[in-house]
């Protein structure tokens, strides 16, 4: 009986080992980058990644998460670099030594989406602050990301700037990604703050439409932050640097500025 | 309704044209869940038999725990595996996070209690019948385990298929530990979650239909290979 148990245990461990080591080893030029859902949903990633692979030989594996989680992954050293859009959190990340530096790459903008009938008359607002005040006064349904993402942080700062602390039946934090939150807003006929890229690429618009846009307060800067090898010696700093060089190159500028979705330019390259 | 229909058409075209991405994520789905199933069976079935034939102090508690763990939320398993495999965690040096291996580990943890519990139920029924005979034949414990496992192999097949079903349709754990990385850890279920997030319900539904078809195909294949559900057999 003992021998049989040993045989069985060996077989189990062997199978486990086989499946573990089958996965390790390969892909020397692989770099993991956590990016925000808005960057990925825009479809730009699908344009850039093959070009990066072609020009630099780096295979970039994207983890599509909210900015809050992306920063967490960077802090734990589970990714080699992050591409996010929440300036205050990014600066804290670098200040705490988790990232080597912060490099601005490109920007796009946020928009207020809501039911086309616009019961809160957001379209008539003169500034984003006024738009937020109109929403909180009319109390239509408003869906919030509620997931500590860059978009959520932006929304909170907009409420704060308008002197409002949003709460009540009308305010629905869903704790989900941009797409899932847009689905909820579409189902509830609710207002929501979205980045333009996710909205344009979103397939379930229902009765929703863009109600407020093009305000300086809705500017959305994306930045690239390599994870600090001093904190996590295993991160692939060399690859992260090469990727940064590519992301700030003329080639990247051409691709980012040239990316159109339904005839609209989504991102503007502004790396220095 | 129109979305259901366009989901069906999309699924049809994806299959007919053998879409490269679809083939890739389908194969990864199969690879992850079948590996997890294989490992889980190697762990579960002997344990289920041992629990059946042996009497030990914490047996009842162990069975109760196993039954309770059948309903383990995958997202919790995912989170635990994530914390363990993260670079900041105890097994971080292995660098397994966001690899198919991490997904296999999570799925093994999810389906082991399920297979063990179901297998134990059927082995126990058989043990009631075999108990006196096997004792009187003065068999060793290992012989009893082997006899029970072999003679209830059809029921054990059902137990493993239940495990397969739970694994192939699972999204909570593999989303967390795999990360849904394109061309690396994206499987059918996480792709469905992604397309739902993009509001592309038709494609999401199409992938869903493919997932269902895949599960049916695997079940049929296993029945075919093991000659069950045939005329004159049980």
pLDDT in tens, B61-87: 999 999 999 988 999 999 999 999 998
Cβ distance A1 to B141 under 8 Å? yes
**Would you call B87 helix, strand, or coil by DSSP?**
coil
Residues A42-76 as b/e (b if ≥16 CB within 10 A, e otherwise) read: bbbbeebbeebeeebebbbbbbbbbbbbbbbbbbb
**Which residues of chain A make contact with B199, given a CB cutoff of 8 A?**
179, 182-183, 186, 202-205
Cβ distance B88 to A77 under 8 Å? yes
Q: Choosing among B87, B107, B185, which should be mutated to test the A contact, i.e. which has the most A CBs within 10 A?
A: B87
**Which residues of chain A make contact with B41, given a CB cutoff of 8 A?**
none
**Which residues of chain A make contact with B196, given a CB cutoff of 8 A?**
179-180, 183
**Would you call B226 helix, strand, or coil by DSSP?**
helix
- Strands A191-195 and A103-115: what pairing? antiparallel
Tokens of A104: 């601005």
The predicted pLDDT at position A4 comes to 65
The predicted pLDDT at position A129 comes to 92
**Which residues of chain A make contact with B84, given a CB cutoff of 8 A?**
none
Cβ distance A192 to A105 under 8 Å? no
**Which residues of chain B make contact with A201, given a CB cutoff of 8 A?**
198
Residue A112's beta-bridge partner residues? A193, A212
Domain boundary among A218, A235, A250: A218
Mean per-residue pLDDT, B147-163: 91
Cβ distance B68 to B154 under 8 Å? no
- Strands A208-212 and A103-115: what pairing? antiparallel
Q: Is B181 on the interface with A (CB under 8 A)?
A: yes
Q: Is A41 on the interface with B (CB under 8 A)?
A: yes
For B9, counting Cβ atoms within 10 Å of its Cβ (0-12 exposed, 13-18 middle, 19+ buried), the class is exposed
Chain A residue with CA closest to B34: the answer is A19
Mean per-residue pLDDT, B103-116: 96
Cβ neighbours of residue A259 closer than 8 Å, sequence gap 6 or more = A42, A43, A44, A47, A265, A266, A267
Q: Is A248 on the interface with B (CB under 8 A)?
A: no
Same domain? A233 vs A214: no
**Which residues of chain A make contact with B42, given a CB cutoff of 8 A?**
8, 11-12, 15
B residues 193-222 lying closer than 8 A (beta carbon) to A: 194, 196-201
Same domain? A67 vs A102: yes
Q: Is B182 on the interface with A (CB under 8 A)?
A: yes
Same domain? A36 vs A165: no
Q: Which of B46, B104, B181 sits opposite A62 (nearest CB)?
A: B181
Cβ distance A182 to A202 under 8 Å? yes
Chain A residue with CA closest to B94: the answer is A24
Tokens of A118: 């616009």
User: Distance between CA atoms of A185 and A171, rounded to whole angstroms?
Assistant: 11
CATH number of the domain where residue A86 is located: 3.40.190.10
Q: Is A263 on the interface with B (CB under 8 A)?
A: no
Instruction: Indicate the pTM of the whole model.
Output: 0.82
Q: Choosing among A21, A179, A187, which should be mutated to test the B contact, i.e. which has the most B CBs within 10 A?
A: A179
The predicted pLDDT at position A5 comes to 63
Same domain? A236 vs A141: no
User: Distance between CA atoms of A62 and A172, rounded to whole angstroms?
Assistant: 29
Give the domain range for residue A194: 110-218
Number of structural domains (chain A) is: 2
Same domain? A196 vs A259: no
User: Which run of H or of E encompasses A175?
Assistant: none
The predicted pLDDT at position A203 comes to 83
Sites in chain A below the pLDDT cut of 50: 24-26
Interchain contact, B181 vs A61, CB within 8 Å: yes
B120-141 pLDDT, tens per residue? 999 999 999 999 999 899 999 8
Choose among B192, B220, B198, B197: nearest CA to B14.
B192
Q: How confident is the model at residue B15 (pLDDT cuts 50, 70, 90)?
A: confident
User: Distance between CA atoms of B39 and B45, rounded to whole angstroms?
Assistant: 10
Residues B119-133 as b/e (b if ≥16 CB within 10 A, e otherwise) read: bbebbbebbeebeee
User: Could you tell me the CATH superfamily of domain B2-225?
Assistant: MetI-like (1.10.3720.10)
The predicted pLDDT at position B201 comes to 84
- The shortest C-alpha distance from B211 to chain A (Å) reads 21
Answer yes or no: is pLDDT of B163 > 50. Answer: yes
User: Which run of H or of E encompasses A98?
Assistant: none
The predicted pLDDT at position B14 comes to 85
Average pLDDT over chain B, rounded to whole? 89
CA distances from A204 to A84, A181, A207, B8 (A): 25, 11, 9, 18
The predicted pLDDT at position B210 comes to 92
User: Which run of H or of E encompasses B35?
Assistant: helix B20-53
Same domain? A102 vs A115: no
Cβ neighbours of residue A263 closer than 8 Å, sequence gap 6 or more = none
The predicted pLDDT at position A1 comes to 54
Q: CA B84 from chain center: how many Å?
A: 21
* Residue whose entry in the numeric block shows the structure tokens 């493919």: B210
Mean per-residue pLDDT, B144-172: 92
**Which residues of chain A make contact with B182, given a CB cutoff of 8 A?**
49, 61-62
Cβ distance A270 to A106 under 8 Å? yes
Helix, strand, coil shares, percent, chain B, to 5: 80, 0, 20
| Other Cβ atoms within 10 Å of A22 Cβ, number | 15
């Amino acid at each position: 009986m003992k021998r049989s148990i040993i045989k069985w245990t060996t077989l189990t461990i062997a199978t486990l080992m086989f499946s573990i080591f089958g996965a390790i080893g390969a892909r020397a030029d692989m770099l993991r980058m956590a990016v925000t859902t808005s960057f990925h949903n825009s479809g730009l990633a699908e344009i850039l990644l093959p070009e990066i692979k072609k020009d630099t030989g780096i295979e970039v594996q994207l983890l599509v998460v909210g900015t809050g989680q992306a920063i967490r992954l960077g802090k734990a050293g589970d990714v080699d670099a992050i591409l996010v859009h929440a300036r205050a959190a990014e600066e804290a990340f670098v200040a705490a030594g988790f990232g080597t530096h912060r490099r601005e790459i490109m920007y796009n903008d946020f928009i207020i989406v809501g039911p086309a009938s616009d019961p809160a008359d957001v379209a008539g607002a003169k500034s984003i602050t006024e738009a937020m005040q109109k929403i909180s006064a009319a109390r239509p349904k408003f869906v919030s990301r509620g997931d500590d993402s860059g978009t959520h942080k932006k929304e909170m700062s907009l409420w704060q700037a308008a002197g409002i602390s949003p709460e009540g039946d009308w305010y629905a934090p869903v704790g989900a990604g941009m797409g899932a939150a847009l689905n909820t807003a579409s189902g509830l006929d609710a207002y929501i703050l979205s980045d333009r890229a996710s909205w344009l690429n979103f397939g379930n618009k229902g009765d929703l439409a863009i109600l407020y846009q093009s305000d300086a307060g809705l500017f959305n800067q994306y930045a690239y932050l390599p994870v600090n090898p001093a904190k996590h010696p295993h991160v692939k700093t060399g690859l992260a640097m090469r990727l940064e060089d590519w992301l700030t190159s003329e080639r990247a500028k051409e691709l980012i500025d040239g990316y159109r979705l339904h005839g609209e330019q989504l991102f503007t390259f502004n790396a220095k | 309704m129109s979305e259901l229909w366009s989901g069906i058409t999309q699924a049809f075209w994806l299959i007919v044209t053998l879409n490269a991405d679809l083939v890739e994520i389908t194969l990864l789905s199969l690879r992850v869940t079948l590996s997890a199933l294989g490992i889980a069976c190697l762990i579960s079935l002997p344990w289920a038999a041992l629990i059946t034939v042996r009497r030990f102090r914490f047996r009842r508690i162990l069975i109760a725990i196993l039954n309770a763990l059948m309903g383990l939320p995958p997202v919790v398993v995912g989170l635990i595996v994530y914390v363990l495999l993260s670079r900041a965690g105890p097994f971080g040096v292995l660098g397994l996070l966001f690899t198919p291996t991490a997904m296999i580990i999570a799925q093994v943890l999810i389906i082991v209690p399920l297979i063990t519990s179901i297998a134990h139920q059927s082995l126990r029924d058989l043990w009631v019948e075999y108990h006196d005979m096997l004792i009187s034949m003065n068999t060793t414990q290992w012989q009893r385990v082997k006899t029970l496992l072999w003679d209830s192999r059809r029921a054990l097949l059902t137990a493993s298929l239940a495990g397969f079903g739970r694994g192939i349709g699972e999204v909570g754990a593999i989303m967390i530990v795999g990360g849904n990385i394109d061309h690396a850890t994206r499987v059918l279920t996480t792709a469905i979650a992604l397309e739902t997030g993009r509001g592309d319900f038709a494609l999401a539904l199409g992938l869903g239909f493919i997932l269902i078809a895949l599960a049916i195909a695997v079940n049929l294949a296993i029945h075919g290979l093991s000659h069950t559900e045939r005329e004159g057999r049980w």
